[in-house]
Chain A
């Protein structure tokens, strides 16, 4: 039997409707203002260089005694965790009584090209942790590291275990050399010294292109063909634009930090294989003895589950919990399922300890 059974008149009808929607939708699209993001009220707590540490303000006072600091990746903007009213990990965590802080790394420029991972982890993160701990008069706080920020949080928790009460790693790469890790596969042929010596900072446009080429047809064509379906729905269209803005709103990467991240993490795989040093401090994942919750996405094309799962055997705690989320790298923050499952999972896990 022929696998294709397309009625020609229906097909023409389909094409006609596609064009109608496109023509009408493009007009709507042109009239939409810039979308806003970051819905939850927040206050600035600490500022250093381009970094700002914020504390989110919930409707009610937090019930949790230990504050939670979100350490986001350098490669995208952190407002993904608080994108819009009905897609906000932060909002849900606040509603559950958590006291949530976040580090906004800002946009590095050429004057930041010599920032190293030492500056980021032993400098910025450490000082932010100290500020939060001091405010709450506690010695340890909870850390929630996301993606690259998760890898940084692992390094931090290994170097300063006395400062971390609970560690949550979300879509965090740990083993960078698994077979399905396309990004890692590509970076291993790159002369990163030549790359950074030439570019200085890594331009955001180049990073965006690199991410899109992981799934070029889906991310650069099919997604926009699908957009035609929602062009007549203003709310859906705004949701799409908000995501689109986040995807292309990427900061440049500070050259030296990028050089070390690619060399030691992607090429050397030292986070799990050992030998990683941040500044003069050695990173040994076995020194992570606090309770750890590892959340990863089953359909993640940027950080495949195979890259996150090895955390279990690498750390020095028996109190390890894993949560496999049914979704992708972005869906884990913004999908409806994520809103239902992820914040409550974090809150419950923390509550039991």
Chain B
């Protein structure tokens, strides 16, 4: 890198090289980007490019991230080469590459708080579709924050009173949370700056590892990669410290407090406009979820027992039905005497098992099973003819149709209804059984009598 040229020669060379860069850039973009003046920052070409094509075509998000990173990279290259060419009369042998590197991150026009703070800049760039950092509050919070600044900050510690007391207190609380958040964010950015400074120290150390022949860095990319390693190392040191954990927690927690205060404000406004609020929706979601859980997994102890009992009965019924299907069909009616009688077929034996016995009439079986169970005796209620007719009609349907799961359930309900003598419509039998309080039952009966 050392040469025998004069400083002016080097400057001329550097300017020629810059010109060469811009001409190449203009060619690459087929004239869309015009070569600017010699000392224009290189990343400006990319800036122009992204303005021209920023929102067109596909893969916009990836293209945006690519341009953002490329801008940082070319700024770094220009800074390193410019520093080498402009400052040192010996040519490109720069004694302090770290300073040149540091300058490379201070892109013209960037936020002053990110000066000498590449981490701050990178974190500032990390936003957009698919990304939302803790340091950012959603842009649509802005009106509420403006209102808070008007009403809250000016009266931050003043006692609230009068008809607007609650409102003022709310804005004071929001303002206090916001101040707390800003403070935490400041400490967080301070740690990012510390990471940046530390990254330059580590970078210098890493350069020392390359001063032997054969290990020298000979390209801009290799130099950049060394810095990336140094930066990540520095960041990890800070990010794993107890101080960082505390500050990180403070940023997140204080931001959540600000968000909560804004959410409360939005809720208040939504209520005024008669719109559903987040709390109301949460309440609905919670109830829905609990119901879903009860149905799927949990079930209440009471319904669980009932379902288990029903399942057991259905199982028995199914078993019985299966046995009935296996049993041979009853013999045909005796033919007239003139027709010769065939040899007697093997008679179907009467069912041996209790399950098989149940096949004959599942409904009767359920009744029998239930009557065996010890239950408090009830006053017999006279059966009503209409109910009886209804039962008979239903039963006849089930006698011919194959007994399905639903049939079995219906049969059981029918049996239960017949037993209690209550009048039940088909619709009522289909509905889920619910327990009624005695008072409600009495009332219903009275109503039925009066009808």
A contact set with B: CB distance below 8 Å? 1-12, 14-16, 18-20, 22-24, 26, 29-34, 110-111, 113-115, 119, 122-123, 179-180, 182, 185-186, 188-191, 194-195, 197-200, 203-206, 208-209, 212-218, 220-225, 227-228, 241, 244, 248
Contact = CB atoms under 8 A, between A and B. Distances in A.
Contacts of A180: 240
Nearest to B216: A5
Contact of A110 (B53, B92, B285): B285
Contact of B240 (A3, A10, A182, A209): A182
B24 A20 contact: yes
A22 B46 contact: yes
A199 B278 CA distance: 11
Given A12-B21, A31-B58, A220 B289 contact: no
Contacts of A197: 260
Interface residues of B, number: 102
Given A11-B77, A29-B62, A185-B245, A217 B232 contact: yes
Given A5-B217, A185-B245, A189-B248, A26 B49 contact: yes
A93 B172 CA distance: 60
Contacts of B84: 6, 8
A225 B222 CA distance: 12
Contacts of A216: 119, 122-123, 126, 235
B240 A34 contact: no
A15 B25 CA distance: 10
B97 to A, nearest CB: 6
A34 B81 contact: no
B180 to A, nearest CB: 13
Given A19-B24, A217-B235, A189 B219 contact: no
B221 interface: yes
Contact of B224 (A2, A203, A206, A225): A225
Contacts of A217: 118-119, 122, 228, 231-232, 235
B62 A198 contact: no
Given A6-B218, A191-B253, A114 B285 contact: yes
B210 A3 contact: yes
B403 interface: no
Interface in B55-75: 56-59, 61-63, 65-70, 72-74
B424 interface: no
B307 interface: no
B1 A12 contact: no
B131 A208 contact: yes
Given A6-B84, A186-B245, A194-B253, 8 more contacts: A4-B94, A5-B1, A6-B80, A8-B81, A14-B219, A114-B285, A208-B131, A217-B231
A206 B127 CA distance: 10
Interface in B287-323: 288-290, 293, 296-297
B249 A190 contact: yes
A168 B288 CA distance: 35
B220 A14 contact: yes
A185 B246 CA distance: 10
Contacts of B70: 18, 22, 224-225, 228
A189 B243 CA distance: 10
Contact of B232 (A6, A12, A15, A218): A218
B130 A32 contact: no
Given A6-B223, A221-B228, A30 B250 contact: no
A346 to B, nearest CB: 31
B429 interface: no
Interface in B89-130: 92-94, 97, 118-119, 122-123, 125-126, 129-130
Nearest to A196: B256
A60 to B, nearest CB: 37
A106 B217 CA distance: 48
Given A188-B245, A189-B246, A203 B122 contact: no
B306 to A, nearest CB: 21
A18 B221 CA distance: 10
A222 B66 CA distance: 10
Given A111-B288, A190-B252, A220 B24 contact: no
B66 A205 contact: no
A225 B69 contact: yes
B93 A16 contact: no
B17 interface: yes
B28 A20 contact: yes
A2 B220 contact: no
> Counting chain B CB atoms within 10 Å of each CB, which of A32, A122, A225 scores highest?
A225
Q: Which 8 A-B pairs have the closest CB atoms?
A: A189-B249, A30-B57, A224-B69, A3-B210, A23-B28, A205-B132, A114-B289, A248-B130
B217 A4 contact: yes
B441 interface: no
B212 interface: yes
Contacts of A4: 1, 94, 97, 207, 210, 216-218, 223
A205 B131 contact: yes
Nearest to B121: A221
A297 B203 CA distance: 27
Contact of A2 (B56, B81, B125, B216): B216
B190 interface: no
